[in-house]
Structure 1
Amino acid sequence: MTSDPTGGPQRGLSRRALLGGMVGGVALASASGGAAVGAGRSRVAGWEPYVPLGVGSGGGPVGTDRVHVLKVGPDTARTVLVLVPGMFGAAGDFRLLGRDLVEAVPGVQVWAFDRREENLADRSGFTGPDPAGYYLDGHYRSQDPAASAFAARWGLARTLEDLRTVVRAAGQGGRRVVLGGHSWGATTAMTYAAWDFDGRPGYRDLAGLVVIDGGVRGAFDGTGEPVQDSPEEVRERLAAIDGGSVFDMTLSAVGLGSRAESTQIWYQLAGWYAHRDPDGRSVLQPRMPDALRPPQPVTNAGLLGTLVDAGFGWPNDISVHSGHLADSGDVRGWVDTGITPLARVAAAYAGGPQPAVWEWYWPARLSVDLDVADAYADTDLTRSLGLRLRHAAGLDTPLYAFQTSYAKGTIVSAAREVVHNSRIPYATYETDNGMNHLDPLFAAPSHNTLTRTLAPFLAGLR
């Protein structure tokens, strides 16, 4: 077994490293051999169905020409809210939010979208007796970038064609489809609306748009990390992709693992153990490097808390307001004091039939395209990348925009600019500065301003 270099967490991380996912973790063993990629299953007792949908050829390994949808709520619903996760995020991000919305709004079903990249992840270790050993001892199947030239073509155009398959499936039988997303997932939803699908604007497929702490037209300016969309930056990034850097490796810049999937697996493990045995002594703590290992023994829940709670110094975009470690005890447990109970984070992480709140292999080309798409206009640069953003001015679907403290107000100001420069008939803008970027996904319903304000927007669509 060969281990990655380790190091301590870095603060002030790049927006592109953090959107829609939590950074942290420690060095991960290199992969060797391992099981095949886990197949999607339609339904497992006790969990919502996780349904595969065939999509167009993307040139990847066998089994990757499909996407998945986590369906929450009744199939008889007349409105389907399709939600797209942000960078490094997966469908499980929306499981709890979906349940809360379905309970609040009769006649709504939520579909959480997993991109085709999710087929590259080997999640089979979570069905065995020793997930930590399976992953940390290098038994899992890892995707070698050197054998992944296909991923250089998995950009925004590929994602939107796949997403259209989902939108059309959701709309079968005359059902109303609302499209939304979190962080860069919100950007994806907005680009879908302005996209030209062989002469047909994407917004014609939709009854509404939902933007959760993301978007276009400078939505992320308030984070202090402007998009990298100058022609010179784009050329350099494309050259790197052509040179073999097909997966976005910004998480490795944290210094906690050199593989594309290292951080994601560590966090997934932390959530899995915190859900199944929250009060048991941490399984992972002894294997962590000194830089991240808590100085006193902690429970499985306590370890997850140290990795996700804002109180431990994590940046806004990768943290929630949950609580703190217990002040005493031979093994420190977790004490909830915030709007997001740690058990909800753990439940989202460990949910089935596939425990997926993380995308392991984010295509670098998708990062380039989403940065360039921020302009939300048909320009020389967007055309050179094959981005068909031709219909922003004609956009005529109602819009809901929600912002936390993350971008310091630019989520809503950018959404207002979109409305001003389109035919959107009305919009709803909501703000909760008491939330961090990930709180809306996991917060308790009684404290979740997103759930309380999105519900009437959905109920009011006609």
Structure 2
Amino acid sequence: MRTGTVIASAAMLVGSLGVAPAAGTAAPQSRPWRDDYISVAAGGPGPARTDRVHVYRVGPAHARLVLVLVLVLVLVPGQFVAAGEFRNLARGLATRLRDTEVWAVDRRQTNLEDPAGLLTGDPDRAADYYLGGHYRTTTAQSAPYVGQWGLTVAVNDLRQVVLAARDGGRRQVVLGGHSWGATTAMAYAAWDFHGLAGYRDLSGLVLIDGGVHDAFAGEGDIYRVTPDQARSGLGQIAAGAVFDPTVAMGRTETFQILQELAGLYAQKMPDAPSTLAAHLPPGLQPTRPVTNAGLLRWLYVEHPLVADLSANPDYTSVEALADVFGATRPQGFEWYWPQRLTLDLSAADPFVRTATTDVLGLRVWHGHEINVPLYSFQSGLTHGTVNDAARWVVDQSRIASATYAGDDKMTHVDVTVAEPDHNPMLNSLVPFLQNLDNQR
């Protein structure tokens, strides 16, 4: 997800880096199967408790033979969205691709959240915890270091994920993302890591309804940041504007918490009358009494705040929305989005080195060298500019193989949240990944 005009609409070396696996769900497979959430230490600006990223893993833990590589798909969520966004898609891909493990990454921002209420699994207790103001909030005053959490920090964190997934070169890694997560994936591929281009560690790129170089133009979002605008943005951040305020409704995290509570209620008590509805801001409140499932339908199908947050019931059921947004490990939303990351991603969108990227220290220097296969899928959100932008990337690089697909009736939410049996993107994404696997 990436904000538009109103709502604009990345872990982990097992063993030596101290991974702490969470309880997962075993699947009936002939080989060990993982469905878990793990964390590992990472380095970066801020206190030690924030130097940690997380990943949701789904799929076979090992290949059938030691010499057979496991194709690992690492997915990066979009703006204000967390790894839980990929829950349905990850499970759908992993069950269709027996040699593929899917990793969905939670950025370091999730360390700022207080999930205690959600982790009870009880929507009434969770609502009391958050609506009653009992939870720990994070502010610019309590976390000024977030002002340094831009694209440089994000891609360096993501590099730890990619290197861990490669397992010393024993596995291939395909890097992908949704919305601005796709932008982040492309920035990683073009990034200069002390003389080594990011794409050299990858076997493919997957862009899901996002990308670079005017990918979002069809929605009305064209990013052109001048050097002076970049300096001004840095000044505002240094003065205390460390969090992106686009979806702020009171506190920075209020909107996201309300969405997760709505998902939890719809998951646990779908047919009960909604008590949460009365706590929503006026612009979100239903105009009639609704059940908990009805509230989620109102928010995403009948009366979405913006197009980025709409769902087409032909692809995404209320049950699917509840399964994703009512989940607790991983969660569906990211509460705190750094303003520096918004500035950097906007400045990196042209996907070439500019005076602005130099001002911001963005090392997106190797886009023209990228030579790994690319997959791009677009919904109806941008009216074709996602795939147009992907074609520009291919034309300006050394990419020899590309797949373009889409469905204009799908929404920005549908492409990742829809149940796998109702998600036409899998009809083209699965063969793309199979072909990469067959080429190893």
Q: Which of 356, 362, 366 is the matching residue for 1:387?
A: 362
Taking structure 1 as reference, are residues 143 and 394 closer, same or farther at Cα in structure 2, changes over 3 Å only? same
2:9 corresponding residue in structure 1: 19
1:52 corresponding residue in structure 2: 39
Encode CA deviations 1:257-278: one digit per residue, 9 max, x unaligned.
Answer: 2211010000000001100111
Q: Which of 27, 50, 56 is the matching residue for 1:64?
A: 50
2:236 corresponding residue in structure 1: 240
Distance 1:101 1:231 in 2: 42
1:355, distance to aligned residue in structure 2 (A)? 4.6
Q: Do residues 410 (structure 1) and 401 (structure 2) align?
A: no
1:431, distance to aligned residue in structure 2 (A)? 1.4
Partner AA of 2:225 in structure 1: D
Partner AA of 2:56 in structure 1: L
Partner AA of 1:148 in structure 2: A
Q: Do residues 95 (structure 1) and 91 (structure 2) align?
A: no
2:343 corresponding residue in structure 1: 368
Q: Do residues 112 (structure 1) and 104 (structure 2) align?
A: yes
Distance 1:70 1:424 in 2: 29
Question: Matched residue of 2:118: which SS?
Answer: helix
Distance 1:112 1:16 in 2: 27
Distance 1:290 1:144 in 2: 24
Q: Do 1:126 and 1:355's aligned partners in 2 also have CA atoms closer than 8 Å?
A: no
Q: Which of 267, 271, 293 is the matching residue for 2:263?
A: 271
* Superposition pairs of residues 284-323 of structure 1, within 5 angstroms: 284-309=276-301, 311-312=302-303, 314-322=305-313
Q: Do residues 168 (structure 1) and 182 (structure 2) align?
A: no
Partner AA of 2:268 in structure 1: R
1:3 corresponding residue in structure 2: none
Distance 1:292 1:422 in 2: 44
Distance 1:215 1:371 in 2: 11
1:332 corresponding residue in structure 2: none
Partner AA of 2:242 in structure 1: V
Encode CA deviations 1:294-313: one digit per residue, 9 max, x unaligned.
Answer: 2332111111111111x325
Q: Do 2:114 and 2:135's aligned partners in 1 also have CA atoms closer than 8 Å?
A: yes
Taking structure 1 as reference, are residues 320 and 274 closer, same or farther at Cα in structure 2, changes over 3 Å only? same
Structure 2 residue runs of 5 or longer lacking an equivalent are: 11-18, 27-34, 64-69
Partner AA of 2:326 in structure 1: A
Question: Matched residue of 1:250: which SS?
Answer: coil
Partner AA of 2:303 in structure 1: F
2:22 corresponding residue in structure 1: 43
Question: Matched residue of 1:280: which SS?
Answer: coil
Q: Do residues 345 (structure 1) and 314 (structure 2) align?
A: no
Aligned residues: 409
Encode CA deviations 1:108-144: one digit per residue, 9 max, x unaligned.
Answer: 1100000111100001111235000000000000002
Q: Do residues 282 (structure 1) and 258 (structure 2) align?
A: no
Encode CA deviations 1:70-122: one digit per residue, 9 max, x unaligned.
Answer: 00111114000000000001000001100001112221110000011110000
Taking structure 1 as reference, are residues 412 and 456 closer, same or farther at Cα in structure 2, changes over 3 Å only? same
Question: Matched residue of 1:145: which SS?
Answer: coil
TM-score where L is the length of structure 1? 0.85
Q: Do 1:264 and 1:358's aligned partners in 2 also have CA atoms closer than 8 Å?
A: yes
1:135 corresponding residue in structure 2: 130
Structure 1 residue runs of 5 or longer lacking an equivalent are: 1-12, 21-39, 323-337
RMSD after superposition: 1.8
Encode CA deviations 1:35-79: one digit per residue, 9 max, x unaligned.
Answer: xxxxx96222538211112111322x3411010000011111400
Q: Do 2:298 and 2:304's aligned partners in 1 also have CA atoms closer than 8 Å?
A: no
